[in-house]
Homo-oligomer: A and B are copies of this chain.
Amino acid sequence: MVSKMKQIKGGVTAAKGFLAADTAAGIKYKDRKDMAMIYSEVPFYTAGTFTSNIVKAAPVKWDQKIVYDEKMAQAVVINAGIANACTGEEGMRCCELTAEKAGELLSIPKEHVLVASTGVIGMQIPTDRICAGVEAMAPTLSGEIESGHAAACAIMTTDTHEKEVAVEVELGGTTVTIGGMSKGSGMIHPDMCTMLSFVTTDAAISQELLQEALGADVEDTYNMISVDGDTSTNDTCLLLANGMAHNPMIAEKNEDYEAFCKALHFVNETLAKQMAGDGEGATALFEVKIVGAESKEQAKLLSRSVVSSSLVKAMIYGHDANCGRILCAMGYSGAQFDPEQVDLFFESEAGKIQVFCDGVALDYSEEEAAKILSEPAVTAIADLKMGQESATAWGCDLTYDYVKINADYRS
């Protein structure tokens, strides 16, 4: 099957029937956009994946109920000031009041309003401000590309740029669109500021397959990025499908489903890599590929361990090929392999160099290695020579600015 996917401009409003809005509601900071809203002209099926942290923020609990029980909704209200985590009953009540207010203004039941938050943990949200924000946004909802873009900007916290992407794909002769926006970094290892990802599509697809497609793809995309090893209380990824493209309904795992999954993967991977490269304080996107693995699980464990190592990340920042640290991080990953068989390479726009052969350091050129490591995107490739499986993880370097941002995050 030849895939007819193509990338287009736009994000969360690219798909038919999806509108967005944003506002500066002063939730925690003044004079800064800090709320966004997504609305669909018709109800959409919802699929979602959420933080594995036992400490779940109130909005995560609210959305899980909708995704698991209702399976449908029509709007999402997002705030990027306060996480609404560790806030007890008052936090849950805030979600309910937010949904009620949005429901009232949009004439939909409160059970059809998803909410998402990111920001400081352990602080209550001023409910009056969030309701005022919803009131300000509702009349300005628009399907323009610019509205989606403004929403992607409004959900940023320590992000340095907005993250969005959209694609078109032919499904059964009909053009279907998938677009998304996200903020933060990581699902298994997210940045403090939480990963939030919102992907919308006008595809007609059953809720079961929608959830299955998302659940599977998250494993290879958002779950393969790491900024600092901390898993937020608020991580949320929502995939919303309103069927307005009127493609032949996808109700089984046919060719159309495969094409949909492929396009969804492109959207998720693009957003995930944008988040990894924009990790707090980062100066470089760091990609780790494990090849020649016996199993996918082994390759994932190893690549995630390397991409999460503080020592490896500091080495990338220093453009210093102290590559024993990579073998060291593989060694404590929990995966079994033979260190004395590993070949190791660095690759970037500046070239490719082999630094280890059969687990022993080669006498390579330090200058050439430093040149390769000085690019804004650097890949480390480890070949286990055990089998045919592979996995890729994404992260970033560890810099002074990471410490700076997180030492005084609240001030």
B residues in contact with A398, CB < 8 Å: 403, 406
Q: Interface stretch among A27-35, A41-49, A269-277, A322-330?
A: A322-330
Bound Cα distance from A23 to B90, whole angstroms = 65
Q: Are B230 and A309 in contact (CB under 8 A)?
A: yes
Per-residue interface assignment for chain A, residues 362 to 383, with 1 indicating a CB less than 8 Å from any chain B CB and 0 otherwise: 0000000000000000000000
B residues in contact with A360, CB < 8 Å: 86-88, 90, 122
Q: Are B55 and A331 in contact (CB under 8 A)?
A: yes
B residues in contact with A400, CB < 8 Å: 400, 403-404
Q: Are B320 and A410 in contact (CB under 8 A)?
A: yes
Q: Are B407 and A320 in contact (CB under 8 A)?
A: yes
A331 and chain B: residue at smallest CB distance: B55
Q: Are A54 and B332 in contact (CB under 8 A)?
A: yes
Q: Interface stretch among A4-12, A237-245, A333-341?
A: A333-341
State whether the Cβ of A229 lies closer than 8 Å to any Cβ in chain B: yes
* Known contacts A324-B233, A340-B88; is-contact A331 B53 (Cβ 8 Å): yes
* Known contacts A122-B361, A192-B311, A340-B88; is-contact A328 B406 (Cβ 8 Å): no
Q: CB within 8 A of A322: which of B120, B320, B404?
A: B120
Main SS of chain A's interface residues?
A: loop
Q: Are A314 and B52 in contact (CB under 8 A)?
A: no
Interface residues on chain A, size class: 35 or more
Per-residue interface assignment for chain A, residues 87 to 128, with 1 indicating a CB less than 8 Å from any chain B CB and 0 otherwise: 110100000000000000000000000000000111100000
Q: Which of A190-246 contact B (CB under 8 A)?
A: 192, 228-233
The 22 listed contacts between A and B (C-beta, < 8 Å) are A54-B331, A54-B339, A55-B339, A85-B328, A87-B361, A121-B322, A121-B328, A122-B361, A123-B324, A229-B229, A230-B311, A231-B328, A231-B331, A233-B324, A233-B327, A233-B328, A314-B407, A315-B409, A318-B406, A320-B410, A322-B410, A400-B403
